[in-house]
Amino acid sequence: MSFCFNFDVPEQTTNPDGVDGNDLHNRKKVNAAKPVSKNIRQPMLKPAKEHLPLSDLQLAISDAVTETVTIGILPPLHFLNETVFEKTASEREDNEKILSRTAEQRSDLISGVYEGGLKVWECTYDLLELIEKDGETFEGKAVLDLGSGAGLLGILALKRGAGQVHFQDYNSTVIEQLTMPNAILNCQEDDEEKELSQQPLLAKCRFFSGDWSTFLAFVKKEEPELKYDIILTSETIYNTAYYPVLHETLHKLLAPDGLIYLATKSHYFGVGGGLHLFETFVEQRGVFSLNHLWDGEQGLQRHVVALRFKMAKDS
Ligand SMILES: C[S@@+](CC[C@H](N)C(=O)[O-])C[C@H]1O[C@@H](n2cnc3c(N)ncnc32)[C@H](O)[C@@H]1O
C-alpha cells in the first residue's frame, strides 16, 4: 500500500521559537507577501503517559505474523508484519482513531494526530547498518529510542546489552499495538516460557507515549534525574515546527558525555523539514556539535549524523 504525507491540522499563527519559517512547510501554500508565521503549524500537545506491558499482549502476539530483519552480525530483530497489521486494523482497538484515519486518508502522517509510527521507515535500516559497521555495543548504557515507531533501534540496543531502554512514540496506539508487542517478541526468544514480568530483557524497558514537550516534563520528574547515554532517533526531523521542542528534549535528556544518533532524509517533500534546516537550527542554538557519520551516495538522499554536547572550547 503506498501512502503519502498529509497535513490536515488547521494552520496556527505563532512562529515557534527560533524556527525560520521561510518555505518550511507546504511550499505551495507559502505566500511571500504574507507574514511567514501564518504558515507555521504548531505541534499539538498530546499528554505523556507511561504504558506497562500487560500479559494479554503476550497472547496477542502468539499467532501474529512477523518479519525478521538481520543485518550483518547484529542479532535478528523481529517485528509485526506491516501488511497484516494494516489488514487487521479494523479489528483492533483504535481509541486515537489513527488506524481508521490513516487507512481512510492513505497517509503516512497526519500532523498532530498520527506521526507515522505504524511503519518502519527506511532510515531506521541505515542506522542499523551504521551501528553494525561502527560496532556500538550499548553495553550497560541507558538508551532512549525517541520517536520509536516499531522500536527496532531500541530493541537492537536491548539485545546488544543496554542497561535500560526507553521507547517514546507520539501515539499511544503505536506503543500499545506495535512497539510493546515487538519488544515482547524479541525478549521472548530467549525466555519463551516466562511471564512478562519475569523476563529480564523486558524488565529493562519502559514505554511512553505523548508529544515531546509533555514527555520531557513527565520524565524530568523522575528521581534520580533521568539522563540517557545514547539517544537513537530516526526520521523525526520532517516538521520544522517541532524543532524547538525536539532540541529541548535532546538537550535536557542527554547525559553530558552522551551521544545522539540521528538518521534522516535530506528533505521531506510536502512537509518541508530535513537535514539542512535541522543542522542550521542546531548550529544557531549552539548546544550540540553535529558530525556526518554516513551520507548516502548520489541520488540516495539519506544521512546518519551524530550529535554531542559542544566542549567548552568549541563554544
Ligand atoms: C516518521 S515516524 C518514524 C518512526 C521510526 N523512528 C522509524 O524510523 O521507523 C516519526 C516518529 O517521530 C515521533 N514524533 C514526531 N513528532 C513528534 C512530536 N511532536 N512529539 C512526539 N513524538 C513525535 C512519532 O512518534 C513518530 O513515530
Distances from the Cα of 249 to the Cαs of 98, 220, 284, in angstroms? Answer: 25, 10, 16
Task: Please write the tens of the pLDDT for every residue from 138-183.
Answer: 999 999 999 999 999 999 999 999 999 999 999 999 999 999 999 9
- Could you tell me the distance, in angstroms and rounded to a whole number, from the CA of residue 30 to the centre of ligand 1? 25
**What is the model's pLDDT at position 25?**
30
Q: Is the pLDDT of residue 11 over 60?
A: no
| Residue 22 located in a structural domain | no
Cβ–Cβ < 8 Å for 15, 244? no
Three-state secondary-structure class, residue 110? strand
**What is the model's pLDDT at position 84?**
78
**Cell 497517509 -> residue:** 107
Cα gap 267→80, rounded to integer Å: 28
Beta-carbon count within 10 A of 87 CB: 13
| Residue 201 located in a structural domain | yes
- What's the DSSP call for residue 226? P
Cα gap 245→48, rounded to integer Å: 14
Q: Which residue's CA is the nearest one to ligand 1's atom 2?
A: 116
pLDDT band at 2 (very low <50, low <70, confident <90, very high): very low
Q: Which domain holds residue 95?
A: 58-314
**What is the model's pLDDT at position 126?**
97
Q: Mean of the pLDDT values across residues 274-297?
A: 97
Q: Which residue's CA is the nearest one to ligand 1's atom 12?
A: 147
| Residue 236 located in a structural domain | yes
Q: How far, rounded to the nearest angstrom, does the alpha carbon of residue 83 sit from its chain's CA centroid?
A: 20
| Residue 28 located in a structural domain | no
Burial label, 129 (beta-carbon count in 10 A; 0-12, 13-18, 19+): middle
96 compared with 289, residue with greater pLDDT:
289
**What is the model's pLDDT at position 116?**
92
- Could you tell me the distance, in angstroms and rounded to a whole number, from the CA of residue 212 to the centre of ligand 1? 10
| Residue 225 located in a structural domain | yes
How many independent structural domains does the chain possess? Answer: 1
Q: Mean of the pLDDT values across residues 12-32?
A: 31
Q: Which residue's CA is the nearest one to ligand 1's atom 19?
A: 211
Q: Which residue's CA is the nearest one to ligand 1's atom 4?
A: 149
Which residue from 170, 239, 247, 249 has its CB within 8 A of the most atoms of ligand 1, so it is best to mutate? 170
What cell was used for 306? 551524530
**What is the model's pLDDT at position 158?**
97
**Cell 511503519 -> residue:** 119
Q: Which residue's CA is the nearest one to ligand 1's atom 20?
A: 211
**What is the model's pLDDT at position 168?**
98
Residue 145 pairs with which residues in a beta bridge?
167, 232
Q: Which ligand 1 atom sits closest to the C-alpha of 233?
A: 6
Q: Which residue's CA is the nearest one to ligand 1's atom 21?
A: 211
Which residue from 236, 242, 250 has its CB within 8 A of the most atoms of ligand 1, so it is best to mutate? 236
| Residue 12 located in a structural domain | no
- Could you tell me the distance, in angstroms and rounded to a whole number, from the CA of residue 101 to the centre of ligand 1? 17
Q: Is the pLDDT of residue 55 over 90?
A: no
Cβ–Cβ < 8 Å for 188, 21? no
Q: How far, rounded to the nearest angstrom, does the alpha carbon of residue 3 sit from its chain's CA centroid?
A: 18
| Residue 13 located in a structural domain | no
Q: Which residue's CA is the nearest one to ligand 1's atom 18?
A: 211
Beta-carbon count within 10 A of 181 CB: 24
Q: Mean of the pLDDT values across residues 48-74?
A: 87
Task: Please write the tens of the pLDDT for every residue from 83-110.
Answer: 877 778 788 888 898 888 887 887 888 8
Q: Identify the top-confidence range among 35-39, 91-95, 258-262.
A: 258-262
- What's the DSSP call for residue 224? S
What cell was used for 268? 521531506
**What is the model's pLDDT at position 44?**
66
**What is the model's pLDDT at position 121?**
96
Pocket of ligand 1 (CB under 6 A): 43, 115-117, 120-121, 123-124, 147-150, 169-170, 211-212, 234-236, 242
Q: Please give the mean pLDDT across all residues of the chain.
A: 84
Task: Please write the tens of the pLDDT for every residue from 188-230.
Answer: 755 556 677 778 899 999 999 999 999 999 999 999 999 999 9
CATH number of the domain at 112, please: 3.40.50.150
**What is the model's pLDDT at position 311?**
75
Q: Which ligand 1 atom sits closest to the C-alpha of 117?
A: 27
| Residue 24 located in a structural domain | no
Flag the least confident range among 32-36, 55-59, 185-189, 227-231.
Answer: 32-36
**What is the model's pLDDT at position 29?**
30
**What is the model's pLDDT at position 189?**
58
Query: At residue 294, what is the residue type?
Result: W
Cα gap 167→312, rounded to integer Å: 31
What cell was used for 223? 528521581
